[in-house]
Each structure stands twice: as structure tokens, then as C-alpha cells.
Structure 1
Amino acid sequence: MLLNKESGSELRIYGCTRAASAALSHCACIVFTVTIALLSRPGTKAILLFSPRGSPLKTLPHKTKSRAHWILQCLCVTCAILGLAAIVYNKHLSGKPHFTSWHGLLGVIAVCAVALQSLAAVPLIYHSLAKGWSLAKLKRYHAATGLVAYLLGSGSLLLGLRSAWFTGSAGEHTWYLAAACCAFNALVVMNQVSSAYTAKKRLQS
């Protein structure tokens, strides 16, 4: 009985910690988006919709969350491609070379990765397109590649925060706040994806 009580309390503490982390991540997203919106363009993240404790849609069916995730990711890819096109066009007008910084190189890789990963997710909606592949395996690959694409985007964003434009536009405290929000969100997403599939492996074993 004592062991059951201790394990139950540990689970409650763990659950509260996960919920608090997800809530803080949402707050960080809002703060970061507002900060960037004042200086540039806001971005959209859809991964946290599947958070078991911190999703704003956690009471809705999984199918509804999947559709919302799909819509937000389509908007994200569209904004990323339009942003990349605007940057290329602006560089062309200015007569400046393209993708000469690590931020630019990693950014274009991240945009390509997100676009390809989103296209590869179509069989998750129309499973008949991926004959011979189980839905569970497709979801696992989608989560893994999505995490890689997210981390590429986060890395490019962090490098962008070191640009002369951002450091000149933002104060020192704003820079640290933006960097902390970006890093914290990346950690929360990594934990969410890894925890979800670790839990599934435990249930299957």
C-alpha cells in the first residue's frame, strides 16, 4: 500500500510538471510571437496540439486535433515559403549574394525539410497512398522527421537572433528573452515527441 501511494504521488508530481511545462511553453510561444511580431513576422507551431496535458484542444477527438495540426502546418509551410521568396527577391533587388551566412543556409534547409516533411505526411491522411506501410510506422517516421525539421528551424531562428539586424533592433534583455523562449520551446517539443513514443514502446513491451 505504501509503495502504491508513493508511486501514485510520483505520477501526480510528474503529471503536474508536464502540465506546467506545457503551459509555460504556450506562454513562451505567445511572448516570443509578440516580440517577433513587433520586429518581423510571427510564426506558427502546431506540434503542441498533441500534448497530452498542455494542448488547448486536449478535450477534442484525435481526428479533430490532426485536422487542426494539418491546417496549421499548411499555413506554416506557406508562410515559410513566402518568407523565403521575399528574402530571395530582396537580396536580388539589393544585388547581395544569397545564403552566405549559417543562418541563411540552415534556414533554406529547414524550409525544404518542412515542405518535404509536410508532403510526406499526406499518406497519414490518405493511407491508401502508402501501401505496405503500417499507420503506426508512418506516424513514428512523421514524428521523428517533424522533430528534426523543427530543430532545424529552431537552430536557424537562434542563428537569426545573432544577426546584425536583430541585435540592432532588440535590446540585450529582449535578445535573451527571445533566445530563451526559442530554446525552451525546442526542449518541450523534444520531450513531448520522445515521451510519447517511449510510452508507446513500454505499452507494447
Structure 2
Amino acid sequence: MRPDVEYSPVGEGLGMREFWLYVWLRRAAVIGAQITGIGLTLVISVLSRPGTSLFSWHPVCMSFAYCLCLTEGILVVSADGSLFCCKSRNTNVRLHWFCQALVLVAAATGLSFMVASKNVSELGHLGSWHSWLGVCTLASTLLQAAFGVCMIFSKLLRLSSSLQRLKLYHATCGLVVYLLATVTVVLAMFSDWFQASVKGAAWWALLLLPLFPALVVMNQITNAYLPRKKITS
């Protein structure tokens, strides 16, 4: 066997019929993750009743940013079965940029509404694990965006890191952002506001729902961008 041949475990040991079943199951999981992200955004937006208060816009903006746009932005460049995936790689990359830009705008808007709401109510900031993890998520989002910009303008900026290494940093940071965002959304469901709106079995269902797209996104990123084992003998 030739040295330095990249090894991928996908489909290893599977017959043709089993391999195609595996492919379609992966596509179904990707579509399910996208539908889940859209559904969570709609449910949270309806529950928050936007316009009734300054705070009501915070969950709307944040769910739009992280449950919808971040999910779509990652899957459109890492998953063949994505609902919005095009045959052109360049088109998918542009869609990724657009979704990531929406994440930044929506997250900044949601943060502004939260700060304004706290100031009007004269309540303290950063008083819960949800708020602290939210700040970490926003910081990681900015770092991920910075790596993305460095990738786009790598030649103009004359960076010492190679493009492949920047892609690895960008993908790894994206994985961290999504995991932090998932935990932040889950913690939001323990808030007094959410528990007053949703009770019983529906609350448990919504609590577990964000975990499904997180598993799918994590699998897609690790398979598409993170280093794979190489056979050297």
C-alpha cells in the first residue's frame, strides 16, 4: 500500500446496499437537523411574543442566529444532503458566508435587546450560567468569524499559517461555537420565563430537541474538516 494515502472509515466493510442505506440515513439526519433548527426557532419565537417587551426580542434574535443560521451555515458546506446545498461549491461557500454574517448581526441585536432590558429593569448583568455561557458563545463566534476572514484574505494579509491550517482552526472553532450555543439554549429552558411558558412533557421534549442537530453538526464537521488517520505502511 502506498504511503501517505488518506484513509477514511466511511463505508468500510459495507456492501453496496448497506453503503447506500448509510448514505441515505446520513442525509435524513442532516435534513432532520435542519428541520429541528427551524422548528426550534419558530417555537421560541412564538413563545417569546416579540414586541411585548424589550426582552421578548432577545430569544427571537438568538434562536434565529444559533438554532437556524448557524446550523444552516455549517451544514451547507459540510453536508451533501443539506436542504439548501447547491451543486456549485462556490455557491455553497457564499451561502455559508451569508449565514455566518446573519449569525453575527442577529446575535449582536439579541445582545443589545438583553442589555437594554436589564438596564430598564435595573437588574444586574451576568447573573446566571446561561448569561455567562452566552458571553463565551459570542466571543467564540467572533473568533470563528476572524478565522473565516483570514481564510478569505489569506494572500492579502500575508499570513504565516497555511490555508489548510486556517480551515482547521475555523472548523474547530465552529464546532466549539455550536456546542456552546447548544448548552446555552438548553440552559435557557431552565429559566423562569421558559418554564412559565412550557410545562410537562412538552418541556422535556424541547429540552432534548437541541441535542439532535448538535450531534449531526458535530459529526459533519469532524468528517468533513478535521484531520483523518493516514496509513503509512
TM-score after normalising by structure 2 = 0.79
Displacement of 1:202 in angstroms is 5.1
1:89 aligned residue: 116
Match of 2:149 among 122, 125, 140: 122
The whole-number CA distance in structure 1 between the counterparts of 2:231 and 2:112 is: 45
Q: Deviations over 1:101-125 (max 9, x none)?
A: 0001101111121122212210211
Structure 1: 5+ residue runs without aligned partners? none
Q: CA RMSD in A?
A: 2.1
Do the aligned residues in 1 keep the contact of 2:167 with 2:225 (CA within 8 Å)?
no
Find out whether 1:21 has 2:29 as its counterpart. yes
Q: How does 1:104-143 map to 2 (within 5 A)?
A: 104-128=131-155, 129-143=157-171
The count of corresponding residues between Structure 1 and Structure 2 is 201
Q: Which residue of 2 aligns with 1:187?
A: 215
Structure 2 residue 190 is the aligned partner of structure 1 residue 162: yes
- The 3 A distance-change label for structure 1 pair 186 and 130 is farther
Which one of the candidate residues 77, 80, 100 is aligned to 2:104? Answer: 77
Residues of 1 paired with 2:13 and 2:180: CA distance?
42
Superposition TM-score, scaled by structure 1 size: 0.89
Instruction: Give the partner amino acid of 2:113.
Output: A
**Higher helix residue share:** 1
Q: Classify the secondary structure of the residue corresponding to 1:54.
A: coil
Structure 2, unaligned runs of 5 or more: 1-11, 49-59
Residue of structure 1 in register with 2:125 after alignment = 98
Q: Secondary structure at the match of 1:122?
A: helix
What is the alpha-carbon distance in structure 2 between the residues aligned to residue 121 and residue 63 of structure 1? 15
Given that 2:27 and 2:82 are in contact with CA atoms closer than 8 Å, whether structure 1 keeps it comes out as no
> Any idea what the Cα deviations from partners look like across 1:14-44, whole Å, max 9, x if unmatched?
2121111112112211221111110231412
Per-residue CA deviation, residues 122-167 of structure 1 (Å, 9 max, x unaligned), is: 0211121252222111111110011101111111111001101001
Flag the 1:35–1:92 CA change in 2: closer, same or farther, 3 A. same
Measured after TM superposition, the shift of residue 203 of structure 1 is 7.2
| Structure 1 residues 68-115: Cα deviation after superposition (integer angstroms, max 9, x where no partner) | 111111111111111112111211111111111000110111112112
